[in-house]
Each structure stands twice: as C-alpha cells, then as structure tokens.
Amino acid sequence: MQPRVALYTFGIFSKPSADPANDSFHARNDANLAAVEASAGFIARSGYDGDPGPASWGPHAYPRFYTGGDAHSPSTLSLWTDLESPMAYTYYGIHAEALSHGRDWFQKSATTTGRPAWPPYVLWWVGAQHIPDWREAVARLEHLHDHGPSPQAFDWKTAFDAGGLPYSIDRAAMKDRVMRNLTPAS
C-alpha cells in the first residue's frame, strides 16, 4: 500500500460557536462533510466524540494558539491518496464557496506585522496503515508554525513528496480531481 497524505485544518471563531454570526457556517457543515467524503482521492476522516458519523481518531486536542473560548473551534483531520486531491476539494466547489466567507466567521490568522499568527492547515505523509490522531495533528501544525515547512509538516506552497523531497503540485492532476468532484456520480 502507498503512503497517504494527512490534512489537519484549524480555525478559531471570532464569536462563540452558538452566536448567530456563525449560523451560515453551521448550515454548510453537513453539505461540506458529504462533499469531502465524495471527493476524488479521499480516504477517511476523523469524527468527533459524541457526534454522529465516523469515530474520532483519539481525544480531541487544540493547538496552543487556541487559548479559550467555548471549547468549540472548527477543525478537521482527514487522509487522502495524494496532495492534489485535498487541494482540489479545498479550493473548488462547495468548500471554496465556504472559504470565501471565512472572514465572516473566523479570527484572522495574522499578527500586526502581517505574518501569520498560526497556519490554518498542515499536511504530512503517513504510512499506509497509520491513522493519525488529533494530538499528532496538533503537533504537526505547531511544528509548521515553529519551524516552517519541512517534510515533517508543510503546506501546498512548500510541499514535499512521500520521500521528503520538494514537490510541485501537479496542476493537471488537480484539475482532473476538480472535474471528478464536480461530476455527479452515476
């Protein structure tokens, strides 16, 4: 079996989760989760303790950037066959539409200097049988923040292949995944 790509995303609501300002985020949640599960290259995702759906991959954990709030900060943890597949899902289709509203829901991930206060996502390669847990995902996000992109933890701008070598996203492969995601299954 081939190595797989793990993807962890993390955001912090600007207002408490139950605030009406977040209603449109919550209204999109089920459709976004259904779309990710139907995406080309998607393998599996962690659920959340106490919620219907897939089992949680360990106890939920939060990065050190999350210093309070109502203990609900949107995060995802998923596995993919390649780097192009989660990129196609993230930046095209239903999820891209949700991303365009991010400033309505989330704190800005930037300091006064304009440098990111924390990365909103992290990617890394895992072995064919490995299922990352939430604590591992948080550690990878913090590693990316503290040390920058490396084979241990990276983003799409500075990606690495499964062997740890620098990797450029295959735009043709990504467009293929986009088209597969936009074409209804028969």
pLDDT at 2: 94
User: Taking 90 as the threshold, does the pLDDT of residue 99 lie above it?
Assistant: no
Q: Give the other-Cβ count within 10 Å of 64's Cβ.
A: 11
User: Taking 70 as the threshold, does the pLDDT of residue 172 lie above it?
Assistant: yes
pLDDT tens string 27-72: 998 999 999 999 999 999 999 988 889 999 999 999 998 887 666 7
pLDDT at 84: 98
- The reported pTM is 0.92
User: Taking 60 as the threshold, does the pLDDT of residue 128 lie above it?
Assistant: yes
Distance, CA of 174 to CA of 8 (rounded, Å): 19
User: Taking 90 as the threshold, does the pLDDT of residue 159 lie above it?
Assistant: yes
- Of 182 and 125, which is predicted with more confidence? 125
User: Taking 70 as the threshold, does the pLDDT of residue 186 lie above it?
Assistant: no
